[in-house]
């Protein structure tokens, strides 16, 4: 979490153009109010995951909504 006295980080590409189904590699960028209602494809290291931006997500990071870890479930041996 960034300190309050620092400004939120936003990638320059997001400020120039923000359109629907835009692919993002910048997981550390902060979600702004003008992104609400749009769907972005956030990269998780393997593939792009679609994320629909809602009003509650403003102020958080894009990377929080595209998980990078795979949870394995091991089968029980008899």
Which tens digit of pLDDT belongs to each residue from 15-27?
Answer: 777 666 788 888 8
- In order of their start, the domains of the chain are 12-65 (3.30.860.10)
Whole-number Å distance between alpha carbons of 44 and 26: 10
| Residue matched to tokens 């939120």 | 8
Residue from 2, 9, 46 nearest 31 by CA:
9
pTM of the model: 0.76
Q: 42-57 pLDDT, tens per residue?
A: 998 889 999 998 999 8
The CA distance from 61 to 35, in Å, is 12
């Amino acid at each position: 979490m960034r300190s309050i006295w620092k400004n939120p980080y936003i990638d320059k590409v997001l400020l120039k153009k923000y359109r629907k189904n835009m692919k993002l590699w910048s997981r550390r960028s902060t979600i702004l109010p003008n992104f609400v209602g749009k769907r972005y494809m956030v990269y998780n290291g393997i593939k792009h995951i679609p994320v629909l931006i809602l009003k509650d997500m403003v102020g958080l990071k894009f990377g929080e909504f595209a998980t990078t870890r795979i949870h394995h479930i091991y089968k029980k041996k008899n």
